[in-house]
């Protein structure tokens, strides 16, 4: 072996983590690059139409007359992109792809901060890599042109500062997530339960969520002429937009129920609220001693329960739960069947939708998934009451 070879190998051994991170980043970008030309139904029928409306009606000024179902924060990004002389298919996907990497970095930091010993860097890098190469993460941004990585990035960052017990910043980040997607509410019961049970932060922190939403809407209000009320009314549009369907392409309990929307929709909402209230009562009754693992476990359970029992769910609504499930398993190596089921569901439903494949498998999925959720719920209830696991283990 020559001296040059020895020096190269020595350099690689010394900096292998950085080199691997660079290689993974490049590969993750390249795989997304090859999907950029794919035009999804949502892009051609909705996103591009909204973009062209904004571009042809004065760019950001068009927001004063826009009546779609995206909030002002994302529309402001779209308005900025409309000034650029590039194909909107690429620029819109590009924003979501950037947040793919922010999401992966956030998850990597979360696992790095909670991992003990000398394997912290490897654990963080592994998480970063796995998140970037999850099929649904690639498909959501690079194929579908959706923006679920944006709100999910803010949710994960919010959880990081929740574990750090930096509550105001955690709620501001939760407000950023809410400003982009209503699906942020799936994690909100966790914060409410911790508010009551831990009694470490004021209820006033919850006001930071709508305040942050307003702040992110300000460019659309000041420069685009959008009404302030629109920043909140848009969520009502999202809720009732598909009110005629109990479920759309998602394996939850409503795949097994006759499509009697008038009866089952309100009943399903009330039942899900009851489940969350029951969790709160249980936590108070058991005087749960919190640590990071219990918080993340409960958060994952809440998201799975809400998306399984709430009516009106779509295939993308579990996105942040899919991400959190991977982080959870990489940290604690528990409940692998749930993690597999959650992410396999995403792969199947995304593939069916993006490839226009009509295969009736969702009923079978919903049964299997429901059984796994019940086992996970049983595990979580027992785990929360375990008083032998009380170490605080704050995120560094």
Q: Read off the pLDDT of residues 202-254 as tens digits, 9 standing for 90 and up.
A: 999 999 999 999 999 999 999 999 988 888 888 887 777 777 789 988 999 99
Is the pLDDT at 374 greater than 80, yes or no?
Answer: yes
Residue 258: its pLDDT value, please?
Answer: 75
Residue 372: its pLDDT value, please?
Answer: 97
Is the pLDDT at 107 greater than 70, yes or no?
Answer: yes
Task: Give the Cα separation of 166 and 129 in Å (integer).
Answer: 27
In a domain, residue 270? The reply is yes
pTM, rounded to two decimals: 0.95
Residue 116: its pLDDT value, please?
Answer: 87
Lowest mean pLDDT, pick from 51-55, 151-155, 293-297, 356-360: 356-360
In a domain, residue 46? The reply is yes
Number of domains within the chain? 1
Sole residue written with tokens 């654990």: 123
pLDDT bracket for residue 167 (50, 70, 90)? very high
Q: Read off the pLDDT of residues 111-151 as tens digits, 9 standing for 90 and up.
A: 999 998 888 999 999 999 999 999 999 999 999 999 999 99
Mean pLDDT of 21-37: 96
Residue 158: its pLDDT value, please?
Answer: 98
Residue 389: its pLDDT value, please?
Answer: 62
Residue 118: its pLDDT value, please?
Answer: 82
Is the pLDDT at 22 greater than 70, yes or no?
Answer: yes
Is the pLDDT at 396 greater than 50, yes or no?
Answer: no
179, 71 Cβ separation under 8 angstroms: yes
Q: Read off the pLDDT of residues 267-321 as tens digits, 9 standing for 90 and up.
A: 999 999 999 999 999 999 999 999 999 999 999 999 999 999 999 998 899 999 9
Output 322 or 390, whichever has higher pLDDT: 322
329, 339 Cβ separation under 8 angstroms: yes
Burial class (CB in 10 A: 0-12, 13-18, 19+), 241: exposed
Lowest mean pLDDT, pick from 8-12, 20-24, 289-293: 8-12
**Structural Rg of the chain based on CA atoms:** 22
In a domain, residue 302? The reply is yes
pLDDT bracket for residue 9 (50, 70, 90)? confident
Residue 390: its pLDDT value, please?
Answer: 56
Structure tokens at 281: 């009562």
- Dihedral, CA of residue 35, residue 41, residue 43 and residue 49, to nearest 10: 150
In a domain, residue 390? The reply is no
In a domain, residue 350? The reply is yes
In a domain, residue 9? The reply is no
328, 339 Cβ separation under 8 angstroms: yes
130, 103 Cβ separation under 8 angstroms: no
Mean pLDDT of 72-99: 96
Structure tokens at 396: 């560094």
Mean pLDDT of 168-173: 98
Task: Give the Cα separation of 118 and 14 in Å (integer).
Answer: 15
In a domain, residue 208? The reply is yes
User: CB within 8 A of 293, min separation 6: which ones?
Assistant: 331, 332, 389, 393
Is the pLDDT at 392 greater than 60, yes or no?
Answer: no
In percent, how much of the chain has pLDDT > 70?
97
- CA distances, 118 to each of 112, 326, 391 (Å): 10, 21, 20
Please report the beta strands in the chain, taking only residues with DSSP state E, as ranges in sequence order. Answer: none
Burial 110-131 (b: 16+ CB within 10 A, else e): bbbbbbeeeeeeebbbbbbbbb
Task: Give the Cα separation of 268 and 265 in Å (integer).
Answer: 5
Q: What angle do CA 260, 266, 269 make, to 5 degrees?
A: 120
Residue 357: its pLDDT value, please?
Answer: 65
Residue 393: its pLDDT value, please?
Answer: 53
Lowest mean pLDDT, pick from 39-53, 187-201, 358-372: 358-372
Q: Which domain holds residue 144?
A: 35-384
In a domain, residue 327? The reply is yes
Is the pLDDT at 347 greater than 60, yes or no?
Answer: yes
Burial class (CB in 10 A: 0-12, 13-18, 19+), 254: buried
Lowest mean pLDDT, pick from 59-68, 268-277, 334-343: 59-68
- Quickly list DSSP for 276-287: HHHHHHHHHHHT
Mean pLDDT of 170-191: 97
């Amino acid at each position: 072996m020559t001296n040059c070879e020895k020096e190269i190998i020595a350099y690689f051994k010394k900096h292998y983590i950085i080199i691997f991170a660079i290689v993974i980043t490049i590969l993750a970008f390249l795989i997304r690059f090859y999907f950029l030309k794919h035009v999804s139904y949502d892009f051609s029928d909705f996103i591009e139409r909204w973009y062209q409306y904004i571009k042809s009606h004065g760019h950001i000024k068009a927001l004063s007359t826009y009546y779609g179902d995206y909030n002002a924060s994302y529309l402001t990004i779209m308005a900025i992109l409309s000034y650029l002389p590039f194909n909107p298919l690429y620029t819109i996907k590009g924003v979501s792809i950037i947040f793919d990497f922010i999401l992966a970095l956030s998850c990597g930091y979360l696992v790095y901060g909670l991992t003990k010993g000398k394997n912290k860097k490897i654990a963080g890098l592994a998480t970063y890599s796995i998140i970037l190469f999850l099929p649904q993460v690639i498909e959501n941004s690079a194929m579908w042109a959706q923006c679920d990585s944006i709100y999910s990035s803010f949710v994960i960052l919010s959880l990081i500062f929740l574990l750090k017990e930096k509550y105001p910043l955690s709620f501001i980040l939760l407000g950023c997530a809410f400003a982009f997607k209503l699906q942020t509410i799936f994690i909100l019961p966790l914060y409410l339960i911790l508010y009551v049970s831990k009694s470490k932060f004021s209820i006033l922190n919850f006001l930071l969520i709508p305040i942050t939403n307003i702040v992110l809407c300000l460019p659309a209000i000041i420069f685009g002429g959008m009404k302030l009320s629109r920043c909140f009314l848009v969520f009502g549009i999202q809720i009732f937009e598909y009110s005629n369907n109990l479920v759309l392409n998602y394996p939850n309990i409503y795949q097994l129920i006759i499509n009697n929307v008038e009866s089952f929709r309100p009943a399903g909402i009330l039942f899900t609220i009851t489940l969350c209230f029951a969790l709160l009562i249980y936590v108070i009754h058991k005087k749960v001693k919190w640590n990071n693992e219990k918080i993340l476990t409960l958060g994952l359970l809440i998201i799975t329960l809400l998306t399984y029992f709430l009516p009106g769910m779509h295939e993308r609504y579990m996105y942040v739960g899919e991400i959190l499930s991977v982080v959870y398993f990489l940290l604690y190596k528990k409940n692998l069947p749930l993690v597999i089921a959650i992410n396999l569901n995403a792969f199947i439903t995304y593939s069916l939708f993006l490839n226009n494949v009509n295969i009736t498998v969702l009923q079978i999925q919903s049964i299997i998934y429901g059984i796994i959720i019940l086992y996970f719920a049983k595990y979580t209830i027992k785990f929360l009451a375990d008083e032998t696991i009380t170490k605080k283990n704050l995120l560094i």
